[in-house]
Amino acid sequence: MDNTILVTGGAGFIGSNFVLDWLALDQGSDSIINLDKLTYAGNLQNLASLEGNPRHIFVRGDIGDAALVAKLLTEHQPRAIVNFAAESHVDRSIHGPAEFIETNIVGTFQLLEATRSYWNGLNEESKGAFRFLHVSTDEVYGSLSPTDPAFTETKQYEPNSPYSASKAASDHLVRAYHHTYGLPVLTTNCSNNYGPYHFPEKLIPLVIHNALAGKPLPIYGDGQQVRDWLYVKDHASAIRRVLESGKVGEAYNVGGWNEKPNLDVVHTLCAILDELSPRSDGKSYAEQITYVTDRPGHDRRYAIDATKINRDLGWKPAETFETGIRKTVQWYLDNQEWVQNIASGAYKDWVDKHYEKVG
């Protein structure tokens, strides 16, 4: 095997941060083959700083394209695959679930099949060293009441949206390929990520973008939905750690130990923006908060118990919510060209349609 890893979905939010950090940090001579379909959330601008870098090879393609994946595996002989490729927004899954079934279930199946064929052809030493790391979500576990304990890796799966159901199915496929075929897999289930290059349909980048544009800041229902927030670069470091030392066949929950109601997150963002980029009229951005009808089946609370990855692999997040959210706001203020390029494309059409009742 070569000193290469195959990253799928590496032009998306989490994937691109992982790729950038991997190549920036001392990872020896490991190169990355980056396979991404470049759907609405895949953005090559995220990877602009890697242009001309011989350790980064970008390939536009679909994990469901078995022939392409087989060709890449044969050609580059990677020692690991890190699978970020997924349709990943709950609202989109409610409006159009078919894509989620196709990418997250069928696509993962095709990727696993190609990987199994490749892995079976390796020599014993290479087979033992190979890893398939599947990146998943805490949403597969369902919803929690305010008093329920946080999700552990043994929590029963109870997905509530087409998105989380499709991710749960993909997790089960990955597990089955380990137990049935011996494929050396690892799974991570993360909480809500935030940070640089976050597509502006998700809560934090949407609020920053709308605040600066003088638009309403849409809050679903009463805004008391609780999420555990994980800075994306902490997530990338957790994946590196699991890939390096995780026990084959195991799942690891990755969380930020930061449970926050959505409304509190929005008020925090407004306060930081009031400080770093105040409104011209001197008023607070919080005046732009607007409540909108809650989405169907909206999970009330997610919370990750990340004890296992800390205990077994020594990982914990480097950022608190306070440090991570400030870095995030500053990044968006410093990268308005990136934001505007996103806002002028398909994202704008989606948001205009989805939040047409706001204001």
The SS3 assignment for 231 reads strand
d(CA 356, CA 354): 6
Residues 252, 186: contact at Cβ < 8 Å? yes
In sequence order, what DSSP letters do the residues of 149-188 get, joined into one string? PPB-TTSPP---SHHHHHHHHHHHHHHHHHHHH---EEEE
CA distances 134 to 8, 164, 243, 318, Å, are: 10, 15, 10, 23
CA distances 249 to 163, 172, 183, 217, 265, Å, are: 23, 12, 9, 42, 35
Show the beta-strand stretches assigned E in 37-190. Answer: 56-60, 80-83, 131-137, 185-190
d(CA 133, CA 146): 32
| Residue 45 CB-density burial (10 A; 0-12 exposed, 13-18 middle, 19+ buried) | middle
* 270 Cβ neighbours under 8 A, 6+ residues apart: 207, 211, 217, 284, 285, 286, 288, 289
pLDDT of residue 345: 66
* Of residues 237, 228, 232, the one with CA closest to residue 256: 228
* Of residues 350, 302, 55, 50, the one with CA closest to residue 199: 350
Structural domains of the chain sorted by starting position, each given as residue range(s) with its CATH number in brackets? 4-195+231-255+301-319 (3.40.50.720)
CA distances 223 to 64, 105, 275, Å, are: 37, 31, 23
**Does residue 155 come out as left (phi exceeding 0), alpha (psi in the -120 to 50 range) or beta?**
beta
Residues 137, 228: contact at Cβ < 8 Å? no
Which residues are known to be catalytic? 138-139, 163
Number of H helices, E strands in the chain: 14, 12
Residues listed for the chain: 359
Residue 138 parent element (H or E): none
For β-strands 226-231 and 259-261, DSSP reports them as antiparallel
β-pair partners for 83: 8, 134
Written as tens digits, the pLDDT of the chain (359 aa) is: 568 999 999 999 999 999 999 999 866 678 999 999 988 778 888 998 999 999 999 999 999 999 999 999 999 999 999 999 998 777 788 888 999 999 999 999 999 999 999 999 999 999 999 999 999 999 999 999 889 999 999 999 999 999 999 999 999 999 999 999 999 999 999 999 999 999 877 899 999 999 999 999 999 899 999 999 999 999 999 999 999 999 999 999 999 999 999 999 999 999 999 999 999 999 999 999 999 987 777 778 989 999 999 999 999 999 999 999 999 999 999 999 888 887 776 544 544 554 444 33
* 317 Cβ neighbours under 8 A, 6+ residues apart: 230, 231, 234, 238, 255, 256, 257
The SS3 assignment for 190 reads strand
Largest Cα span, the chain = 68
